[in-house]
Amino acid sequence: MNDSIDDLEAKAARLSAELHEVRRELARRRGIPLTAEALRSSRAYAFSANLPLKEVVDGCAESLDCFGFCVVDDVIPQDRIDTLRAEANQAEEKVNRNQRAILEAVKQGVSIDDLSGVEGTDLRPVRRVGYPPKMVNDIVWLPEYAKYLAHPTITAIARAVLDDHLKIAQLHLRPLVGPSDDGTPGGFGHARHRGRADTREWHTDWPHDLAAYGGNDPQKNAGAIRQPFPNITMGLTMIWYLTDVDEDSGATFVVPGSHKDSRNPRGPKDGISVTSPIPGDMQITAKAGAVFIQDSRCWHCSPMHNTGAKRVAVVNRWSPWWVSVNDYAPGSLIDTVCRPLSQAEFDALPRDLKPLMRHLCPTEKDSLQQPVLDRAQAAREQDRWGYRLLEEHPEKVADANSHIHVDIDP
Ligand SMILES: O=C(O)CCC(=O)C(=O)O
Ligand SMILES: [Fe+2]
């Protein structure tokens, strides 16, 4: 190569742009929609849980990788929706009552250590010694919903994308009010901000929530990954809709492809207003019983307008075992991070859900799950094989790796 450095730099930029275009053309030929409008109308991000497992898992994993989100339709059977919705509505009252009682007691000067004894509060010890108790996990108010949370299709998708050993690090209700008789518009957020179809509340989710729940308050900051985010999926947010959602009624907003963008709606240097629409944004649509799953890096938000009925939904945030989900925010009594469970509450969980929530019960010894152990065992065997080679075939040692070539990728 006799090209100058400038020529080579120009060539690298040209080839990289060309590669980008080739990839887009390939996607087009494969019928993958590359505009928000085509994606919205085709629902190419959605797969039915009734399809063969591999088809749903591959489809969802590809959708998460390409768009940053997917929807699994038909997870909760239609004849169970009314029961689960009623249960969620009741749970909402219990969670709110609990939170009010805790905040009121704190206001009255009750110390954190004495809170557990206060009438009307439901707190549980956390796993971390010396940390204050927290609100009990919402799952205890949702026993019917708990039967679906570890749905085999949903856990298979999460495993495929995150890792084999999963933790449900947060679980909470996310209702969106409908319009009230007094004229208050429906939607998310303060009543004064609600009602316009062209407003948003853009953010990304923990551990990519840049405000980290607590801003500069060390008692409440739960941690956030530094920008630019590495291109790895570290968290999945799932929204389980218990009412139908569409453009007028409670459907989550997303910006397809944003999970791989180095900017962020809350990025201090990125010049994005969190309350304005972003070109290329769209709302997903789904029936009650569907689960929206997104990479935590995907730019998304609750709709701040809802002209339909109240939206009822349960949100969970799933992490692989290697993300430290609960090491910080020592003073957060009411945040949604790893709300704990007592031993009896843990014991009452459905069998398949237990491994995903074991880390929430301080009296359960949390150990790594079988597929992770199997991987480690295979690695240990590989290690032993090398030593056997050294001991049994010393003549082969010098050349045994001659087929392995590692390039430096500048
Ligand atoms: O309400 C929604 O549709 C989105 C919820 C959300 O962004 C969240 O809980 O992190
Ligand atoms: Fe979110």
Determine the Cα–Cα distance for residues 230 and 28; give it in Å rounded to an integer: 27
112: confidence class by pLDDT, cuts 50, 70, 90: confident
103: Cβ–Cβ under 8 A, 6 or more apart, which residues? 334
Q: How far is the CA of 6 from the centre of ligand 1 (A)?
A: 47
Mean pLDDT across the chain, nearest whole number? Answer: 96
Residue whose CA lies nearest to ligand 1 atom number 10: 205
Residue 399: its pLDDT value, please? 98
The residue with tokens 């429906």 is 186
168: Cβ–Cβ under 8 A, 6 or more apart, which residues? 149, 316, 317, 318, 356, 357, 360
332: confidence class by pLDDT, cuts 50, 70, 90: confident
87: Cβ–Cβ under 8 A, 6 or more apart, which residues? 141, 142, 143, 144, 145
Say if residue 1's pLDDT is above 80.
no
Say if residue 404's pLDDT is above 80.
yes
Residue 304 three-state SS: coil
Say if residue 319's pLDDT is above 80.
yes
Backbone angles phi, psi at 316, to 5 degrees: -135, 150
**Domain-located, residue 328:** yes
**Domain-located, residue 358:** yes
The tally of domains found in the chain comes to 1
Share of the chain above pLDDT 90, in %: 95
Q: Is 174 in the pocket of ligand 1 (CB under 6 A)?
A: yes
Residue 75: its pLDDT value, please? 98
Say if residue 82's pLDDT is above 90.
yes
Q: How far is the CA of 204 from the centre of ligand 1 (A)?
A: 9
**Domain-located, residue 20:** no
The residue with tokens 């237990």 is 354
**Domain-located, residue 24:** no
- Cα–Cα separations (whole angstroms), residue 64 to 71, 171, 182, 257: 9, 21, 41, 9
Residue 114: its pLDDT value, please? 86
Ligand found nearest the CA of 204: 2
- Alpha carbon dihedral 216, 222, 227, 230, in 10-degree steps, equals 170
Residue 2: its pLDDT value, please? 84
Q: How far is the CA of 291 from the centre of ligand 1 (A)?
A: 12
Residue 301 three-state SS: strand
Determine the Cα–Cα distance for residues 229 and 299; give it in Å rounded to an integer: 13
Say if residue 16's pLDDT is above 90.
yes
Backbone angles phi, psi at 317, to 5 degrees: -120, 120
Q: Is 84 in the pocket of ligand 1 (CB under 6 A)?
A: no
CATH code (residue 81): 2.60.120.620
Ligand found nearest the CA of 172: 1
pTM for the model stands at: 0.96
pLDDT in tens, 54-65: 999 999 999 999
Closest ligand 1 atom to 300 CA = 7
Determine the Cα–Cα distance for residues 110 and 103; give it in Å rounded to an integer: 10
pLDDT in tens, 219-258: 999 999 999 999 999 999 999 999 999 999 999 999 999 9
Residue whose CA lies nearest to ligand 1 atom number 4: 302
pLDDT in tens, 334-380: 999 999 999 999 999 999 999 999 999 999 999 999 999 999 999 99
26: confidence class by pLDDT, cuts 50, 70, 90: very high
Q: How far is the CA of 301 from the centre of ligand 1 (A)?
A: 6
Mean pLDDT of 138-145: 98
Determine the Cα–Cα distance for residues 101 and 122; give it in Å rounded to an integer: 9
Q: How far is the CA of 173 from the centre of ligand 1 (A)?
A: 10
Angle at CA 103, nearest 5°, toward 99 and 108? 145
Backbone angles phi, psi at 42, to 5 degrees: -85, -20
Helices 53-66 and 152-161 pack at an angle, to 10 degrees, of 40
pLDDT in tens, 186-230: 999 999 999 999 999 999 999 999 999 999 999 999 999 999 999
Mean pLDDT of 168-181: 97
Residue 333: its pLDDT value, please? 86
pLDDT in tens, 129-138: 989 999 999 9
Residue 117: its pLDDT value, please? 83
**Domain-located, residue 378:** no
Q: Is 315 in the pocket of ligand 1 (CB under 6 A)?
A: yes
Share of the chain above pLDDT 70, in %: 100
**Domain-located, residue 304:** yes
Residue 213: its pLDDT value, please? 96
Residue 115: its pLDDT value, please? 87
Structural domain of residue 113, as residue ranges? 43-373
| Helical spans, DSSP H, in 237-369 | 343-347, 354-357
